[in-house]
Amino acid sequence: MSESSDELTAFSRRQSLNRRQHPQKVQKVAQKKVKVKSQQPGAKAGEAALTRSKNRISPPPNPGATRRVKSGLVMPGAVKPIPTVKGKIPPFRPGAVMVKTVRMEEPKIGRRSSRKTRLKPMAKTMLYIVRLLIVGVGMGAIVGTVLSVLDPANRITTNSTLQSNSNVARSQPQPTQTPPVTVSSLYLSQEIITLKNAVQNLAATNPNLTPGVFLVDLDTGNYVDFNGSASFPAASTIKVPILIAFFQDLDAGKIRLDEMLTMQQDMVGGGSGNLQYKPPGTQYAALEVATKMITISDNTATNMLIARLGGIDALNQRFRSWGLTATIIRNQLPDLPGTNTTSPRELANLMAIVSQGNLVSVPSRDLMLDILRRTQRDTLLPSGLGTGARIYHKTGDIGTILADAGLIVVPTGKRYVAAVMVQRPNNDPRAEKLISSISRAAYQEFSQNAVIPNSVTSTIPANGYQPPVVSPVPANSYQSPVINPQYYPPR
């Protein structure tokens, strides 16, 4: 066994040297030998006999062969020797058994490759389908949008809607050169030029005063706007929207007229009113607090109601919900610097709300009117009224501003609202005379254009509040409207 191994090793060494010297001949011989084997009929494929020789290994003699073929070693195709390092020959060991390690190539498993080849067409098909769906949806959306825009039915509907809207707009009376009304309760039709000229002439005679005037006939919508949208320090006129908010909460059940309110130390306000002289901790009924806020313009009572209604921010938010933009509370009363603001136009809107009862119930409206008619100061708007007229109003007075806003009812039944604010030098007395003069001019204009009721028995028209017909009273005397006594707590 060892000798044959030695001979094989020696043969492989000589054969490798012969191959390096004559590579082409070995290839030719191998090819010829393969051909010869294929031509022999009796030879079996894959059988080869090796004879041991001293120097070489030769195939067994073939009697049918006429040509001698040079011996060579033919290795099976499936066996590949492990390559050795080029140029190095292993040393010769006579007694060692040389084992040649060969590496067999594993046959490739075609299951995975075939599975991949089967999945690739399916994946491509699914990808194409998804792409077609995306493109189809996008094109459908684009085409649908274009068709909806170009649809004649839509164009006809739009045009008909515009035409109907324009017809409605033409059928309704349009105000002339008037900014939009902030509160829907106040309807405006056309401006009274003669009365506006009279107001302008009165303002021109007092160049040191800056008046703002807004007058509205509640029956016809005729009005006068002289600097009416300008923002002025509100002074105590800010108490009118606070009164409306109080009665709103009364209607909503958030407060009761007989609820006891406690005066705290931080609510005490100087200036007008007598609650400031009471000790902190004193309690008053809510109706009494609201009444003192208006009739004697009590600042402490106002601060108590502001706190009870949720505070300054809550009230300002409610004013904005009414459509008021210039009416803002910034400080408690008394607001001597004039940081709380409003405008004549918005005060007129508020008095129209009081008259028509749009934000409150009818009993609350009547109770508000009764409180407003008892305002003690009567030297501003009331001083310009004639005999038999009634006024429900609230004044405001600080050093830089003097104001009065109210609802006036002429004995003939005419109703109008007047809001006059005059910015002045500190406590200038001419502002009071100017307000009285403007009130007189307005009363003369509106009393001439009286409205005669269609029915004597109808005392409350459909568009607002109408006090009952009473006998004439002096100009500066006030008569309470007829109110159901059940809305008053026992005194």
Task: Find residue 396's DSSP bridge partners.
Answer: 403
Mean pLDDT of all residues in 292-305: 96
pLDDT tens-digit map of 157-178: 444 443 444 443 333 334 333 3
How much is the pLDDT for 181? 38
Other CB atoms within a 10 A radius of the CB of residue 175 amount to 15
Per-residue confidence at 145, pLDDT binned at 50, 70, 90? Answer: confident
Choice between 350 and 183, residue whose per-residue pLDDT is larger: 350
Instruction: Just give the CATH number of 193-452+463-487.
Output: 3.40.710.10
Residues of the chain with CATH 3.40.710.10: 193-452+463-487
Q: What is the mean pLDDT of the chain?
A: 74
Per-residue confidence at 139, pLDDT binned at 50, 70, 90? Answer: confident
CA end-to-end span of the chain: 141
pLDDT at 307 over 70: yes
Per-residue confidence at 132, pLDDT binned at 50, 70, 90? Answer: confident
Handedness of CA 343, 344, 349, 352 (dihedral sign): positive
pLDDT tens-digit map of 355-411: 887 889 999 999 999 999 999 999 999 999 999 999 999 999 999 999 999 999 999
pLDDT at 325 over 50: yes
Per-residue confidence at 141, pLDDT binned at 50, 70, 90? Answer: confident
Mean pLDDT of all residues in 414-421: 96
pLDDT at 282 over 80: yes
State if pTM tops 0.85. no
What percent of the chain lies above the pLDDT cut of 70? 59
Per-residue confidence at 283, pLDDT binned at 50, 70, 90? Answer: very high
Distance CA 422, CA 394 (A): 15
pLDDT at 35 over 60: no
pLDDT tens-digit map of 224-267: 999 999 999 999 999 999 999 999 999 999 999 999 999 999 99
How much is the pLDDT for 197? 95
Which residues neighbour 280 within 8 Å (Cβ) at sequence distance 6 or greater?
263, 264, 265, 268
pLDDT tens-digit map of 74-105: 555 545 555 555 555 556 566 655 555 555 55
pLDDT at 5 over 70: no
pLDDT tens-digit map of 422-469: 999 999 999 999 999 999 999 999 988 654 443 333 333 333 444 433
